[in-house]
Amino acid sequence: MLFLQQLNVHAQNEGTSTGTKWISSQGEELSSYSPVDGKLIGSVRTTDKVGYEAVVQAAQGAFAEWRKWPAPRRGEVVRQIGEVLREKKQPLGELVSYEMGKSLQEGLGEVQEMIDICDFAVGLSRQLHGLTMHSERPGHRMYEQWHPLGIVGIISAFNFPVAVWSWNTMLAWVCGDVCIWKPSEKTPLCSIACQNIITEVFARNGVPEGVCGLVNGGRELGEWMSADARIPLVSATGSTRMGKAVGAAVGSRLGRSILELGGNNAIIISKDADLDMALIGALFGAVGTAGQRCTTTRRLIIHKDVYEQFTGKLVKAYGQLRIGNPLDQHNHVGPLIDKDAVTSYLAAIEKCKAEGGKFIVEGGALEGDGFESGCYVKPCVAEASNSFQIVQHETFAPILYLMKYDTIEEALSYQNGVPQGLSSAIMTLNLREAEQFLSAAGSDCGIANVNIGTSGAEIGGAFGGEKETGGGRESGSDAWKAYMRRQTNTINYSNSLPLAQGIKFDL
């Protein structure tokens, strides 16, 4: 495949790197099969304990030097990475689409996110600011500054195999940190491609070996990173179950964690909504990436006065969806990541029916020509209660639950009445409803949108959620502070030593 050649990804690859050097490992072979057609793309050699130690030790050594580089100089390296990503956007987007299964447009969009965060980080490299405070003591100056933490461990998920890594890495690098990345074992070849891109830039800039480590493997690697006191910050994206394990392990050693976990996102559709606009937002939110985004729309809370009208539009739109090879840009929906995901999808449908759900768009697995991988399913829609156990649970698949409401207060109670708190939206032209939704008594999610869907966040805003979503923030705004340590400094330039709070300690 041409895109593999352009990214220097081979049939067999080492999966462990300290930056520009690949390390031979005695780990197992990890094969990557495309959910698009079931074919073997390639394999990587997983990281064993010896390889892991080599990566961590290289990172420790690199940090001692990297943190001394001026932040704008580190930003220049990131700028060059962004330029190479522009050159490699098409082949990398194709690899993301083929290995993960999302549409090519979404694969290209993911690489564009990487480019965007590079641009953001370059600007940030000249804006890592602290505050100056007035001291109560005469002849004193007080201020705060931010210093890098050290090694940042990044555990990423299959659904965004490259973008979320870049959110963390580019910010961490300009902050002066070094990184170790453990990608999902379901999309290892995307990590190889990214490491090759980084290697090219690092080599020509004399970046210390160890600034960008890569380890490939399964759960055990994540456990090593979470328990490793040499890694002060672990940023983990994945299920709530996984995040609780990471958070407990990191917390037990008083480390820091950024947790981006499950979502159970809803759109409230008001009687005052533009229904055509609401349809677009709901449809992409529910079926984009085949329902495998943490921001996927899983619930529609629809006002009773427009319920029949809107569901009619929705059913018609679902009937027009084209399911198939995501590299074919005529298709809207690609496959789930693997057959286990299909099994979970089918089980969720049965649970919904058992609890009393009524499907107005039927689901099911797809077979036959074009669906040989066994990973394709039908996006489906069910009328359900917010109290159903399956509705309270995040199923990583294109299943959309509908429910009616009467008052905005009732809608908000449904919106907030789930364990997760990532993304939310309301479709309304009623200013009072919109403001109530955004108020402290409104949505309890980390992301709350008006007249756009739950999916498709921009990198300029901090990304993350509350409750069982983990509470972490990545990407824009002041999320960079999570990758640094705060230091308060007081300088006495007087010829005496007065104490704070007026305390006297004279001899």
pLDDT in tens, 263-283: 999 999 999 999 999 999 999
Exposed, middle or buried by CB within 10 Å (0-12, 13-18, 19+), for 444? middle
Check which CATH number belongs to the domain holding 290 and give it: 3.40.309.10
Q: Tell whether 239 and 304 lie within a shared domain.
A: no
pLDDT grade, residue 96 (50/70/90)? very high
Look at residue 50 in the predicted model and tell me its pLDDT: 98
Q: Tell whether 365 and 235 lie within a shared domain.
A: no
Structure tokens at 421: 């708190």
Nearest to 414 by CA among 385, 373, 435: 385
Strands of the sheet with 423-427, listed across from one edge:
358-361, 380-383, 399-405, 297-303, 265-269, 423-427, 447-450
Residue 408 DSSP label: H
Q: What is the DSSP string of 15-36?
A: --BSSS-B----S-EEEEE-TT
Does residue 288 contact residue 384 with C-beta atoms inside 8 Å? no
Look at residue 505 in the predicted model and tell me its pLDDT: 86
Distance, in Å, from the CA atom of 393 to the CA atom of 384, rounded to the nearest integer, reads 13
Nearest to 289 by CA among 470, 42, 107: 107
Q: Tell whether 274 and 390 lie within a shared domain.
A: yes
Indicate the average pLDDT of the chain. Answer: 97
372 classed as catalytic? no
| Residue 456 pLDDT > 90 | no
User: Does the residue 461 lie in any domain?
Assistant: no
Containing structural domain, residue 22: 2-261+470-487
Average pLDDT value for residue range 347-359: 98
- Please give the single-letter amino acid code of residue 499: L
Q: What percent of the chain has pLDDT over 90?
A: 98
Does residue 460 sit in helix, strand or coil? coil
Average pLDDT value for residue range 368-392: 98
Residue 505 CB neighbours (<10 A) = 6
pLDDT in tens, 42-83: 999 999 999 999 999 999 999 999 999 999 999 999 999 999
Q: Tell whether 257 and 311 lie within a shared domain.
A: no
For 42, what's the count of Cα atoms within 13 Å in the CB-facing half-sphere? 26
pLDDT in tens, 203-229: 999 999 999 999 999 999 999 999 999
Average pLDDT value for residue range 307-319: 98
Average pLDDT value for residue range 363-382: 97
Look at residue 506 in the predicted model and tell me its pLDDT: 79
Distance, in Å, from the CA atom of 347 to the CA atom of 343, rounded to the nearest integer, reads 6
User: Does the residue 504 lie in any domain?
Assistant: no
Average pLDDT value for residue range 386-393: 98
For 151, what's the count of Cα atoms within 13 Å in the CB-facing half-sphere? 24
Q: Tell whether 228 and 361 lie within a shared domain.
A: no
Taking the mean position of all CA atoms in its chain, how far away is CA 159?
8
Q: Tell whether 256 and 289 lie within a shared domain.
A: no
Look at residue 294 in the predicted model and tell me its pLDDT: 97
Look at residue 80 in the predicted model and tell me its pLDDT: 98
| Residue 396 pLDDT > 80 | yes
User: Does the residue 503 lie in any domain?
Assistant: no
Q: Tell whether 241 and 294 lie within a shared domain.
A: no
- Please give the single-letter amino acid code of residue 333: V
Distance, in Å, from the CA atom of 284 to the CA atom of 107, rounded to the nearest integer, reads 15
Q: How many domains does the chain have?
A: 2
Structure tokens at 40: 């073997």
Check which CATH number belongs to the domain holding 248 and give it: 3.40.605.10
Q: Tell whether 173 and 250 lie within a shared domain.
A: yes
| Residue 507 pLDDT > 80 | no
User: Does the residue 72 lie in any domain?
Assistant: yes
Look at residue 125 in the predicted model and tell me its pLDDT: 98
Distance, in Å, from the CA atom of 358 to the CA atom of 347, rounded to the nearest integer, reads 15
Look at residue 160 in the predicted model and tell me its pLDDT: 98
Q: What percent of the chain has pLDDT over 70?
A: 100
Residue 90 DSSP label: H
Q: Tell whether 136 and 171 lie within a shared domain.
A: yes
Catalytic option among 94, 260, 394, 433: 260
Q: Tell whether 344 and 362 lie within a shared domain.
A: yes
53 CB-near residues (< 8 Å, 6+ apart): none
Q: Tell whether 476 and 424 lie within a shared domain.
A: no
Structure tokens at 360: 């107005």
pLDDT in tens, 125-162: 999 999 999 999 999 999 999 999 999 999 999 999 99
User: Does the residue 401 lie in any domain?
Assistant: yes
Q: Tell whether 293 and 379 lie within a shared domain.
A: yes
Look at residue 457 in the predicted model and tell me its pLDDT: 87
